[in-house]
Amino acid sequence: MAFESLSEKLSNAFSALRSKGKLTEKDIDVAMREVRLAFLSADVALPVVKPFIEEVSQEAKGEKVFSSLTPAQTVIKIVASKLTDLLGGNEEGLDLTDNPSCIMMVGLQGSGKTTTSVKLANNIRKQGKHPLLVACDVYRPAAIDQLKTLAKQIDVPVFTIDNEKNVALIAKKAYEHAKDNNYNVVIFDTAGRLDIDETLMEELKRLKQAVKMNEILLVIDSMIGQESVNIAKNFNDKIEITGVIITKFDGDTRGGVALSVKQIVGKPIKYVGSGEKISDLEVFYPDRTAQRILGMGDVMTLIDKAQEAFDEDKAKEMSQKMLSNQFTLSDFLDQIEEMQKMGPISNLVGMIPGLNKGALKGVSLDDSKFAKTKAIIQSMTNKERNDPKILNGSRRMRIAKGSATKVQDVNGLLNQFENMKKMMKKMGKDKKFASNFFGG
């Protein structure tokens, strides 16, 4: 999970402040020293760390903190504000004002550029747009095949010209095709190299001159650390990018790239890739990210994910079943599958205020437990799912065998389900609670 290590270290740095009724300058200096070490261990660039610590220290030593009834919280709010600024301040969306609007995707080989192009097309399509993908990597046939295969999954067309090596010509033809066929966003997937070279940059410059680009988005791999920031700086110096998309964001527990790139390159992070699925591309919100780093949660993103994953009518029907004690194991299976659309459970937990790795020590956040639960329920007949009371010993043995689990696992699931139903029944009796929680 992104920023996991940094979040834990910052939590430790502020824990000593929370135990004090009043703060001294020495207390703040000690805390800031811990924050500095946390940033450096998170692979944040040194030119970014130094001014950040100086600004926070200066403001934290002001009268507002020392006279506050909750000085530790005031310091944390200052850090949150400065952290938001460090990450870019406000969320910056895409410029899609032209018809068609053009987006050039650039980056080195292996950064995930082609996959990200398709993810972006999927994201834009959800906004009611009609995107067209253009294959401009004319050197690797595998890149064009990959683009077509991925685009087919989301039913977005790919424009290609067989045996054509002139990317500027391909771009012009694609632009005309988009205008003639009512595609209002054109995404150009360009060639990458193992390293930045003049040949690559010259080709990108020709493509940029051939078609007016609304956005030039650099795709960088967060897992290679500060080298990604250097790559971003080189691309910006050569072709002037408009924004950055960070891939493998969920695999980088440090997060130093995200905390460095805006300050060093001067361009905003627009999206982050947080998984391998086509849907795993998220708009980057600096304020929400800062809150997550500081353990404040990210309720807005959690709500966004829930609204996207859950069908509103189905959710209302399910809540009524819960409150009327008609909730079955089939319904439970449906709920698990809907939850999984929201992403890995470990990522969701980080969005709940107060719940971070430190707060959940000893608690398993393994998504494979969902898979085991689903396998057990799927090994039952419809009659058994609707009436678990008929599950005698022989039926339970059959279910355990069919789901490659143990009878104890089946018993555990059934006990949990019964306890959940009792809790729902109790909630249903509390009319005020039910109205507030379920909107009934």
**Dihedral in degrees, nearest 10, Cα atoms 73, 305, 277, 149:** -140
Q: Is the pLDDT of residue 265 over 80?
A: yes
Query: 260 and 119, same structural domain?
Result: yes
The answer to whether residues 147 and 246 belong to one domain is: yes
Residue 279 and residue 311 in one domain: no
Is pLDDT above 60 for 358? no
Number of domains in the chain: 3
How many residues can be counted in the chain? Answer: 440
Q: Of 250, 276, 295, which one is at a domain's C-terminal end? A: 295
pLDDT digits (tens, 9 = 90+) for 125-163: 989 999 999 999 988 778 899 999 999 999 999 999 988
302 pLDDT higher than 80: no
Residue 367 domain-assigned? Answer: yes
pTM comes to 0.69
Res. 434: pLDDT tops 60? no
Q: How far is CA 70 from CA 11, 24, 258, 287, 290, in A?
A: 17, 13, 30, 22, 20
CA angle 260, 262, 263 (to 5 degrees): 70
Range of the structural domain that residue 163 is part of: 101-295
Asked if residue 146 and residue 82 are part of one domain, the reply reads: no
Q: Which of 29, 56, 86 is the last residue of a domain?
A: 86
Q: Which two tokens stand for residue 67?
A: 């006279």
In a domain, 360, yes or no: yes
For residue 370, is it within any domain?
Answer: yes
Instruction: Report which of 110, 155, 163, 154 is spatially closest to residue 135, judged by C-alpha positions.
Output: 163
Last residue of a domain, one of 271, 295, 319: 295
Residue 96 counted as domain residue: no
Q: What is the pLDDT of residue 357?
A: 47
pLDDT beyond 80 at 348: no
pLDDT digits (tens, 9 = 90+) for 97-134: 999 999 999 999 888 899 999 999 999 998 999 999 99
pLDDT of the residue at 237: 92
Extended beta strands in 107-151, E state: 131-136
Give 189-204 pLDDT, tens digit per residue: 998 877 777 888 899 9
Q: Is the pLDDT of residue 260 over 80?
A: yes
What percentage of residues in the chain have a pLDDT greater than 90? 40
Query: H or E segment at 218?
Result: strand 215-221
